[in-house]
Amino acid sequence: MSVETVTFERAGEVRERWVLPTAFVTLLTIGTDLFVVSPLLPSIAGQYGVSVGAAGNAVTFFSVAYLVAAPCVGMVADRVGRRFVLVAGLALFAAANVLTGAAPSFGVLLGARVLAGVGAAAVTPSTQALVGQVAPADRRGTWMSVAVAGFLISLTTGAPTGTALASAFSWRVTFVALGGLALVLVVVNAVSWPRRAGAVTGEGPVADRVRVLTKIRAVSVTGLWAFAVYALYTYLGTALRTVAGLSTGLVAVALVLFGLGAVVGSLFGGRLADRFGARRMSTISLVLLAVFQLVVDLMFHAPKGVLVVVLGAFALSAYPCLPAFQARLVEAFPGQVGSVFAWNSCFMYLGTSLGAAAGGALMSSAGFGWIPVVGAAAGALGALVSWRFAITRR
């Protein structure tokens, strides 16, 4: 065995040791920033003398900036390298959060949230693309599931963490702390990823080689999944109290169990995708999502313990779709993973926003019972698109 071979193998061992923890913590940090703002809105509104509704524009500005920037940043990543874009995006994200915490006026805070959205749009898809690229082909789903788990855990940790820091210190400390953590991650990501990871292949302007519509057709599956899941999840806590009659404590237990089911489902989804195929597992997960939406609808009038268990089973069956489908995207678009993951992330946000809006409209007009029905239809459509139309063999 040559010295070069030994060096490469050792580099691979170091890479595997640090890449996944780095990706996990990076996506956990980005996810925390997404979910930490909501409980801080009253404090932000009081600080600047605006209404809570106006303070909510901090979330809107972040989301719009992310949606607009993600496709553009993805094309840049395919041209200049995903590792570079990831590190640069983290640096911008860190600076934007520090500026958010130190903002002297509400206008400056909104501008800082725009910059944070652009930074997050560079970090999230670049991290996912890099994990998919450096993962061994037979373990790609497993690696993707670990990275996705970091983002999913932020669903249950983001709001409590922000609330705790704001209670102990102030809401400003929350954002400064996130900025400091992101700054540390700039260094960690710069040294953890192999220099060849995410490098440009030299095959020409790859963003022009695959039509944008082809990528959008592929990632529409993620949008349908997000619509189905978050139309229900956004109003789940309210429905558990008003429709099912659960106590506040039992609602908290149900939501925690849902979060645990999501994380476990994601982790096992990656392993199952490696074993049985990403296309098969992503489609099966969407079918189960549709079925469990209808089961959840029926269980709202069942014994409370049964309803809580069914919610956990729903998350356990729905969330394997994410890592399985992301592994499929890496395989289908090997030269364009930066831009395709940017579109995928964009459609995740779009599906989540449209799902929440549709759920709100149904909640106020037809009642909560129609939300799972519409979610089931979206999940069934997603399964059909995943199996037949999203990614053609050609």
Domain boundaries of the chain, sorted by first residue = 3-192, 210-389
What distance in Å separates the CA atoms of residue 28 and residue 237, rounded to the nearest whole number? 23
Q: In angstroms, how far is CA 361 from the centroid of its own chain?
A: 24
What distance in Å separates the CA atoms of residue 188 and residue 377, rounded to the nearest whole number? 43
Q: Specify the pLDDT at position 192.
A: 87
pLDDT digits (tens, 9 = 90+) for 139-190: 888 888 888 888 888 877 766 777 777 777 889 999 999 999 999 999 999 9
184 to 69, 171, 189, 263, 329: CA distances (angstroms):
24, 21, 9, 25, 30
pLDDT digits (tens, 9 = 90+) for 176-223: 999 999 999 999 999 888 776 655 554 444 444 557 888 889 999 999
Query: CB burial class (10 A; 0-12, 13-18, 19+) of residue 194?
Result: middle
Choose the most confident range, by mean pLDDT, from 113-122, 233-242, 354-363: 113-122
The tokens describing 36, both together, are 């930490």
Is the model more confident about 377 or about 254?
377
Question: Tell me, what DSSP letter sits at residue 206?
Answer: G
The angle formed by the CA atoms of residues 166, 171 and 175, to the nearest 5 degrees, is 115
pLDDT digits (tens, 9 = 90+) for 26-36: 999 998 888 78
Assess contact for 232 and 293: CB atoms under 8 A: yes
pTM above 0.75, yes or no: yes
What distance in Å separates the CA atoms of residue 366 and residue 254, rounded to the nearest whole number? 24
> Is the CA virtual torsion 53, 58, 59, 61 positive or negative?
positive
Fold of 3-192: Growth Hormone; Chain: A; (1.20.1250)
Assess contact for 197 and 133: CB atoms under 8 A: yes
3-192 and 210-389: same fold? yes
The angle formed by the CA atoms of residues 374, 259 and 252, to the nearest 5 degrees, is 95
Query: CB burial class (10 A; 0-12, 13-18, 19+) of residue 214?
Result: middle
7 to 2, 10, 11, 122, 227: CA distances (angstroms):
9, 5, 6, 31, 46
Question: Tell me, what DSSP letter sits at residue 1?
Answer: -
162 to 22, 34, 238, 317, 334: CA distances (angstroms):
22, 11, 21, 29, 38
Q: How many residues does the chain have?
A: 394
The tokens describing 215, both together, are 């990528």
Assess contact for 234 and 355: CB atoms under 8 A: yes
Query: CB burial class (10 A; 0-12, 13-18, 19+) of residue 77?
Result: buried
For 210-389, CATH number out of 1.10.510.10, 1.10.3720.10, 3.30.479.30, 1.20.1250.20 equals 1.20.1250.20
- Which residue, among 262, 293, 320, has the nearest Cα to 31 in the 3D structure? 262
The amino acid that residue 260 corresponds to is L
Whole-number percent of the chain with pLDDT over 70 = 90
- Which residue, among 272, 153, 222, has the nearest Cα to 382 in the 3D structure? 222
Mean pLDDT (the chain, rounded): 85
Residues 6+ apart with CB under 8 A from 277: none
Choose the most confident range, by mean pLDDT, from 91-100, 228-237, 257-266, 299-308: 91-100
If pLDDT is split at 50, 70 and 90, which confidence band does 393 have? low
Assess contact for 371 and 359: CB atoms under 8 A: yes
Assess contact for 170 and 43: CB atoms under 8 A: yes
The tokens describing 211, both together, are 């039509």
Question: Tell me, what DSSP letter sits at residue 169?
Answer: S
